[in-house]
Amino acid sequence: MTPIGRRLPRSALAGDAVTVAPTLLGRVVVSDSPDGRVAVRLTEVEAYRGADDEASHAFRGLTRRNAIMFDEPGHLYTYFVYGMHWCANIVTGPAGHPSAVLLRAGEVVLGHELATARRSERTKPAHLARGPAGLASVLGLASAQNGADLCAPGAAISVRTGTPPPTDLVLTGPRVGVNVGVEQPWRFFEAGASSVSAFRAGVRRRRPTP
| Residue 210: band (very low, low, confident or very high) from pLDDT cuts 50, 70, 90 | very low
- pLDDT value at residue 204: 39
Task: Count the neighbouring beta carbons within 10 Å of the beta carbon of residue 97.
Answer: 14
> Is the residue at 145 inside a domain?
yes
Q: How far apart are CA 150 and CA 101, in angstroms?
A: 14
DSSP string of 51-108, one letter each residue: TT-TTSTTTT---TTTGGGGS-TTBEEEEEETTTEEEEEEE---TTS--EEEEEEEEE
Reduced to 3 states (helix: H, G, I; strand: E, B; else coil), residue 171 is strand
Question: By mean pLDDT, which of 52-56, 73-77, 95-99 is the weakest?
Answer: 52-56
> Is the residue at 22 inside a domain?
yes
Would the pLDDT of 89 be above 70?
yes
- pLDDT value at residue 200: 57
Would the pLDDT of 203 be above 50?
no
CATH assignment of the domain containing 48 = 3.10.300.10
> Is the residue at 137 inside a domain?
yes
Question: By mean pLDDT, which of 13-17, 150-154, 178-182, 186-190 is the weakest?
Answer: 178-182
11 contacts: CB under 8 Å, gap ≥ 6: none
Would the pLDDT of 81 be above 60?
yes
- pLDDT value at residue 62: 84
As for how many domains the chain has, the answer is 1
This prediction has a pTM of: 0.90
> Is the residue at 195 inside a domain?
no
Q: Write out pLDDT tens, residues 2-54.
A: 679 999 999 999 999 999 999 999 999 999 999 999 999 999 999 999 888 88
Would the pLDDT of 116 be above 80?
yes
Q: Find which of 3-7, 25-29, 171-175, 196-200 is predicted with most confidence, using mean pLDDT.
A: 25-29
Domain that holds residue 48: 6-190
> Is the residue at 153 inside a domain?
yes
CB crowding 171-205: b at 16 or more within 10 Å, else e: beebbbbbeebeebebbbbbeebebbbeeeeeeee
